[in-house]
Structure 1
Amino acid sequence: MKKITLFFTTIFSIAVFAQQKSTGTISLSNNVPITANFTLNNTTSQVTLVLTGPSDRWFGLGIGIVSGFGMDNGDVVVFTTATTPNLTDRNFIGTQAPAQDAMQSWTTVSNTVSGNVRTLILTRALTNSDTNDFQFPYATTNSISFGGVRASSATMNLGSHGGSASAGYAVNVPFTTLGVEDFSLNASKVFPNPSKGDFTIQTKTFLNKVNIYTQTGVFVKSIEVENNAENVDFNITGLQTGIYLVELVNDSQKSWKKVIVN
């Protein structure tokens, strides 16, 4: 009976863990330097968006749009330091700057810059009551199209993106259900990498501690993680440039990642 109970407990655990699906990291067409990674979590009813773009100008991501949509309507998130908050939930209304929604749905979990690349980790409910927002019902959201725009020159003042050269698209990107291995510490990601010393660890499980070592195994520092967080920022600026080893630790697992300080 114990073996049968254990078997069904294991199957149930796998079923629970498998309640996520992701696009993976997708680059836009036309060599526009914007990437997006959507992950839907049916257990928490949240969508996580990892969005990268240029660090020296405003940029945005239109969700559920395809090339040729005309900017007359559509859900969009925009990052610019010219507004407070820096990230705003908006709606395309033609060639004008997109209007800000009354309901601000996205929450910024992390905002890091390495060189000329800004990385944002954002979360939002899968579905909500805002008619301007693209909805992500877990059972029926099996693919997604999106487009990114950026200022044609270095400016944080929101305005025209400057033509088709500053717009790119990804069409009918499929979602892939994540398996059990995707939820282990081995599946964790550290970015941006390389970096000047500011890094973010993103996991699908949780972390208790992060240990940093030199490539030759000399201990550098240890970071205690509060509340078993899934996303952890750490800083090793001031160290010599080179390769460092990052040990990720939780109650049941350890995993090693390599980072480069440049």
Structure 2
Amino acid sequence: MVDGKPMDQAYQSALLSLLYQLADDDFILAYRGSEWLGLAPHIEEDVAFSSISQDSMGHAAMFYQLLSDLGEGDVNHLAHARPASVRKNAILLEMVNGPGHYLSKPRYDWAFAVVRNYFYVQAKKIRMESLKNSSYVPLANTALKVNMELYYHLLHWKTWFGQLMQAGGEARKRLEDAIKRVYADFEGVLSLGSLSKDLAAFKIIESEDILKEKWKLSMKPVFDSVHLSMPDRFGMQSGDGRKGEHTKDLEDALMTLSEVYQIDPAATW
């Protein structure tokens, strides 16, 4: 029901497309964050990053629950059993934590983690602020809950970003390189998919252009404070995850994530 009226098919299709994006984005990035446990720069960051990743996985569960409430299936199935080809997360979020081979030291790039998480959480907060006024009330209520935790997530990554940029030398150089890598695929994060116009028309969320402009406006003072020019445009060079285009990184991650679930999908976890 929307405003006391039955939900029409076009509205539901647009709503489902957004919910899958929100759920899949948080699900895969939370997993990438969990991989840092024991490998973060210091023990306090191990605890902090683990807590943020746990929150993000909880947010994913909330969005999967909304999908389940709309008849899309069991929450655990939505999270663990869907193949990579139907996932709607942005490709940037599925990428391994750095270059190199699995569990080799070069694979874990802290600069990349800081920039990817900071830029993503800022975009996520802007979306949640918009969704608080969503025409779909259950989503608006969920956005209110999610948004309460994002203040701390955003403060955490903004602090890391500012300190490393202001440190100069190798730290700044690595962050600047990470910014280029993230920008190369950040269009995928900001995209609302093929039904973006319907989402705005139905007032489920503000338009993609408005949200993108809000992200730029929110980040410009941060870039100015560290004396760095913001790149002019975003890219989507690795493909469009909103269309189900993904990399082997996602396939490998899903194999690990679903290993226990696949042992007994009917079990209560």
TM-score by shorter chain over 0.5: no
Q: Which has the higher helix share?
A: 2
The higher relative CO (CA closer than 8 Å, separation ≥ 6) is in 2
What range describes the TM-score normalised by the shorter chain of this pair? under 0.3
TM-score normalized with structure 1 length: 0.23
Q: Which has the higher strand share?
A: 1
Structure index of larger Rg: 1
TM-score normalized with structure 2 length: 0.22
